[in-house]
Amino acid sequence: MSVANVVSGIHKTILLGFLFVFSGLASANTGGLQVVKFCVWDPVGSSGPFISFLKQTKLKAIGWGVDLQLEAYTDEKVAANDFRSEICDAVFLTNILARDFVPFSAAFGAPGAIRSLDELKTLSATLNNPKARKFIVNDKYEVTGLFPIGEIYTFVRDKANVSISAISGKKVSILNGDIASSYFADVVGASQVNTSLATWGGQFNNGNVDVMFAPALAYNTFELYKGLGETGGIVDYNILYAVMQMVVNHERVPEGFGKDMRSHALSRFDELENTVKQARSEIPQNYWVKLDKTQLTEYENLSQKIRLSLRDEGAYEKKAVTILWKIRCKFNPSATECANPE
């Protein structure tokens, strides 16, 4: 296997960015440890790099009295459905699907909600405060870890004009029914093309989609250079800093497991961020498209409009949007939204 293939495999696993089916009793005890069955979405499968990455977590969990059993899924929706059916006790998903279990976390995927790793670290630490438990628990489900997958960018098949108005009439990828992408398409007058992670990259590469939103990790993982070709580009504007989520059924795991896992995930942020930076460095410079001042303002204003409109419609919980706003303003107090909050 070539070095390039290994690197691409690592990127795919981290991105999709990015966990597992087990049969049997959900809380059986083995050797004094409580078994926690973890459905891990790993596009590479059971030999994927992310499973290897999580083996350190498995070892760490022994100290919490947990036998964390990892089983890989190559289909994220199947992993989510098996978790819902209690075939497994924990699951690792994109923010888009994780929000179905804990709606408070939907806002974590809002345009401009999280803009940097430092902001994500602050959010993760905040969620581990006992006072935040009421927000990250929904019925029997609990968010037990956020995992960084990097900045989300706009990939276009035609980089000649990347202004917002130029996207009108183009075909935009809507991954797993993402509400922000759908709202974006409606506002700019674009056509929506529903995709899943199984069809996401292919739709862009074969021309069925003109515009898609993805992290740098996707470039090699999904061979997006095929869709970019000679005329495509990547808008060098950070729509948001995206996360994957671990969600557990807290009725089927030991007390304190969620807090232990959130702390552990936070301790490994820099490790994951190094992979994100490496992925960006592998993208040829000629693909990056710099925005002029007018275009940048267009993107910023549209991100805020989508975020606040979906908040007002109830798609994003107001408390979550407010917490994220406070975190952004902590790191960038001179931002217009901090001086004139909406």
Given a cut of 80, whether residue 29 has pLDDT beyond it is no
Distance (Å) of CA 28 to CA 23, 34, 54, 230, 258: 11, 6, 21, 56, 18
User: What pLDDT, in 10s, does the model give residues 171-203?
Assistant: 999 999 999 999 999 999 999 999 988 898 999
> Which range (110-124, 136-150, 265-279, 314-328) has the least confidence?
265-279
Burial 132-154 (b: 16+ CB within 10 A, else e): beebbebeebbbbbbbbbbbbbb
The pLDDT assigned to 18 comes to: 37
User: What pLDDT, in 10s, does the model give residues 246-261?
Assistant: 999 999 999 999 999 9
Torsion sign over Cα 248, 250, 252, 256: positive
pTM of this prediction exceeds 0.75: yes
All structural domains of the chain:
3-336 (3.40.190.170)
Helix axes 179-188, 293-312, angle to 10 degrees: 120
User: What pLDDT, in 10s, does the model give residues 45-69?
Assistant: 777 666 777 778 888 999 999 999 9
> 225-229 long-range CB contacts below 8 Å, 24 or more apart?
225/287, 227/155, 227/157, 227/201, 228/155, 228/157, 228/287, 229/157
| Strand 141-156 to 137-138 pairing | antiparallel
The pLDDT assigned to 172 comes to: 97
Using an 8 Å Cβ cutoff, are 159 and 236 in contact? no
Residues 6+ apart with CB under 8 A from 257: 36, 64, 66, 144, 248, 250
Using an 8 Å Cβ cutoff, are 227 and 204 in contact? yes
Given a cut of 60, whether residue 16 has pLDDT beyond it is no
Residue type, 63: G
